[in-house]
Amino acid sequence: MFYREAGQFKTSYGADQAVFPILQDRVFIALWLAIGFILVPLVSTEYLFRAIFIPFLIMSLAALGLNLLVGYCGQLSLGTGGFMAVGAYAAYNLSVRIPGLNPLVAFLLAGGVTTVVGIVFGIPSLRIRGYYLAVATLAAQFFLDWVFSRVAWFTNNSPSGSITAPPITLFSLTFETPVKKYLLCLAILVLFAVVAKNIVRGRIGRVWMATRDMDVAAEIIGIRPMYAKLSAFAVSSFFIGVAGALWASVHLGSWEPLAFDINRSFSILFMVIIGGLSSILGSLLGAAFITLLPLLLNQLPQWFGIAISTAMISHLESMIFGALIVFFLIVEPLGLARLWHIGKEKLRLWPFPY
Amino acid sequence: MEKFFSLKILVLGAAAAGALLAAAQTFAQANEQFVPALVYRSGPYAPNGVPWANGYSDYLTLVNERDGGINGVKIVFEECETGYSTDRGVECYERLKGKGPTGAAVFSPLSTGITYALTEKAPVDKIPLITMGYGRSESVDGSVFAWNFPLLGTYWTAADVIIQYIGQINGGLDKLKGKKIALVYHDSPYGKEPIPLLNERAKRHGFELLTIPVTHPGVEQKAAWLQVRQNRPDYVLLWGWGVMNSTAIKEAVAVNYPRDHMIGVWWAGAEPDVLPAGEDAKGYNSIALQHSAGQIAVHADILKNVYDKGKGAGKREEVGHVLYNRGMLNAMLVVESIRTAQGKYGRKPMTGEQVRWGIENLNLDQNRIKQLGFAGMLQPLKVSCNDHEGVRHARIHQWDGAKWKFVSDWIEGDNTVLRPMVDEAAKKYAKEKNITPRDCTKA
């Protein structure tokens, strides 16, 4: 009932190819945008912005980037943390070394730098694939980690290797309050999500998916694997680089290489897998699951007034979180996005499902 | 539709959370001082984090039980588990900073990484940070770092005292010429912090400095100790934390490096560091952050008022361990800062801004230290706008296989070496962040 399409006739190719062909979807999207941009800033507390929304938005962007590579192009990567670090350090160095550079430009340029690095580390994907590629990208993670903690130039010769981001000023607007930072991240995420959606449903996306499904067959029908794979690495790295720059400059403010260690790579890969491979929505759901659930589990006992020791809470948090991951993957190996799709199918037929 | 579905869950969760938070806040009593505690009782550093957290919590309980709070203002404290990870630490900070009738009094981040992250946030939220024996070394300069208080010593002070000690046992700093000193360090801002000072000292006295990093969490150090074996340095300084320390001692045994030529920083000189290494740790030295292990007057009070009433946070037999004492000392400094602030602003719960004034005017003389029951554990300390460290004395203690014993007298960090470095680093920071330093003559 809710998704009944009766009466919605498409009279042009354009209408048929719209991102959201169904009216209900468009309404809901508008509603969510309104909630995200208007309602949330009005009602949220500082804690929610700084500890929940901003990390969630930035991680969603990173997961989105990785999903383009792993989900849509089938190139398994474990170097996400390293690429995020490239974005973070590039943004820092650009703004420190070019005075007066607009931070937004710095973020985009940082994405550009990450693109170049991503392509370089994507070259092995032309020869190897699957698990072997995962190990090759792992090398990227270790190498980049090493570079940023060893080469003092990248940290502007900071003695401890920890650096702080300069304040973010855009057109004489200073982004120092949590609300402004939140809106900045949300705007960037929405923009990138639209871009990603349009890439994956267009020619490039089809090229990626053909490569993912059967690269030999794709090559036979005229797809150049080099172009497909390297473009996936490039676009994905761009997204991840911007996410890294935001994570460092907007969320942490001050960071060390440990903020982008191998655990970051793993957790983003888990977001993609749990959220749902090759799904834009899945990236966001996965990011919410991985970043927010532990915080929720950590605070639940207190909300219900159950007195447990701090150590016990954090052990319980790890156990329940782990168990939930296993549970979700058994119940729905295709991820949270798939659950949403099933729900949508059911709503379409409601109240007479078959 | 797709993109924002997750926001639905979020907003619902957020609304629920907000409602509950609001409900929790109405329960808060007016005459209460909220003191947050960022601790780690789980994760790779838990063996060291747990005794610290117990000491911190026990002392605050003691003040409530014995004195009925600080001048009648009851302390409410809440722990938040960081697991020693920076992003969780920041989340904890955001969660706790607004609690209680006046917000969080002061944060003790208990991690160099978290300290770096919070250094940006503290001035905005107007909550001071006490980083007792860790944190940014240049934050001694209170004119730039108004909200950071590295009380009792920074890593530069620690490194300076250790070098002076090595000079003493060799018969003078000039005897260090041509010697080799290795720094085996945790590869993080914490471990790298002493390097600038050691470089400066190496330049002055002509010794050679080898820096050997060990990656987090530090269980794999074979390569590092192979380097030690090849180079045979005269002394090894150990800048480790958690399991890294006991591993280092075991590796030293494996490469046959004498333990009595190893000197750890004060985070590498507690029971969890030496006990796992057993007999091999005998003769291992470390600098002591004023205190060592052992029980003094205040412990008797804690046992009587806290443990006898069944309110202790840890095990009775662990009261008086090195890290327990450190947590306790940290809590005492927090309490005395609030008390000092109350002296100016009245006997009521203090805001972070008022507590900041309290720390900056903290003055514990020998008499007051004795009154508090800390005699012998602490040197007189006086904090000022210009000097956020308060006191720079430390001693070296040695593990004799069963307990820690002091092998040196008090050594003071040499301010003629330290201060120019502090000033220079602070000036650089101020320039990067567009901070106009306060005029300390007027503060």
Nearest chain B CA: its distance from A232 CA (Å): 21
Is there a contact between A62 and A243 (Cβ–Cβ < 8 Å)?
A: yes
Of B9, B14, B120, the CB nearest to A48: B14
Query: What number is the average pLDDT over the span A166-170?
Result: 76
Is there a contact between B266 and B394 (Cβ–Cβ < 8 Å)?
A: yes
Of A167, A261, A288, the CB nearest to B9: A288
Of B3, B7, B187, the CB nearest to A280: B3
Backbone φ and ψ for B97, nearest 5 degrees, come out as: -65, -25
Give the residue carrying structure tokens 């004195």.
Answer: B67
Of A36, A46, A298, the CB nearest to B94: A46
Confidence (pLDDT) at B2: 43
- Asked if B3 and A176 come within 8 Å (Cβ–Cβ), the reply is no
Give the residue carrying structure tokens 């190139």.
Answer: A75
**CA–CA gap between residue A120 and residue A110 (Å, rounded):** 16
Enumerate the residues of chain B whose CB falls inside 8 A of the CB of residue A53: 10
Question: Of chain B residues 126-155, which have a CB less than 8 A from chain A?
Answer: 136
Contact B3/A at CB under 8 A: yes
Predicted complex ipTM: 0.83
**CA–CA gap between residue A170 and residue B241 (Å, rounded):** 41
Closest C-alpha among A146, A340, A182, A127 to residue A257: A146
Contact B437/A at CB under 8 A: no
DSSP3 helix / strand / coil % (chain B, rounded to 5): 50, 15, 35
User: CA A149, A152, A158, A159 torsion: positive or negative?
Assistant: positive
**CA–CA gap between residue B392 and residue B412 (Å, rounded):** 5
Mean pLDDT of all residues belonging to chain B = 88
Enumerate the residues of chain B whose CB falls inside 8 A of the CB of residue A318: 42
Backbone φ and ψ for B393, nearest 5 degrees, come out as: -100, 145
Which positions ≥6 away from B166 have C-beta within 8 Å? Answer: B176, B181, B235, B263
User: CA B89, B91, B94, B99 torsion: positive or negative?
Assistant: negative
pTM for this prediction: 0.87
Enumerate the residues of chain B whose CB falls inside 8 A of the CB of residue A50: 90, 94
Give the residue carrying structure tokens 């998704």.
Answer: A3
Of B7, B10, B116, the CB nearest to A162: B116
Closest C-alpha among B151, B133, B158, B189 to residue B142: B151
Enumerate the residues of chain A whose CB falls inside 8 A of the CB of residue B4: 28-29, 32-33, 35-36, 284
Q: Residue B405 corresponds to which tokens in the numbers above?
A: 């014993």
B251-309 per-position pLDDT tens digit: 999 999 999 999 999 999 888 889 888 888 999 999 998 888 888 999 999 999 999 99
The residue type at A36: G
Is there a contact between A310 and B81 (Cβ–Cβ < 8 Å)?
A: yes
Residue B98's pLDDT band (cuts 50, 70, 90): confident
Which candidate in A22, A47, A194 is best for mutational testing of the B interface (most B CBs within 10 A)?
Answer: A47
A47-65 per-position pLDDT tens digit: 889 889 999 999 999 999 9
Residue B26's pLDDT band (cuts 50, 70, 90): very low
Nearest chain A CA: its distance from B343 CA (Å): 32
Query: What number is the average pLDDT over the span A111-140?
Result: 92
Q: Which long-range contacts (CB under 8 A, 24 or more apart) does B410-413 make?
A: B410/B379, B411/B161, B411/B164, B411/B165, B411/B168, B412/B161, B413/B153, B413/B156, B413/B157, B413/B160, B413/B161
Enumerate the residues of chain A whose CB falls inside 8 A of the CB of residue B123: none
Count of pairs with CB atoms under 8 A, one residue in A, one in B: 168
CA atoms within 13 A on the CB side of A48: 19
Question: Of chain B residues 85-124, which have a CB less than 8 A from chain A?
Answer: 86-87, 90-91, 94-95, 98, 112-113, 116-117, 119-121, 124
Residue A354's pLDDT band (cuts 50, 70, 90): low
Nearest chain A CA: its distance from B309 CA (Å): 18
**CA–CA gap between residue A195 and residue B322 (Å, rounded):** 56
Closest C-alpha among A311, A238, A38 to residue B4: A38
Residue B87's pLDDT band (cuts 50, 70, 90): confident
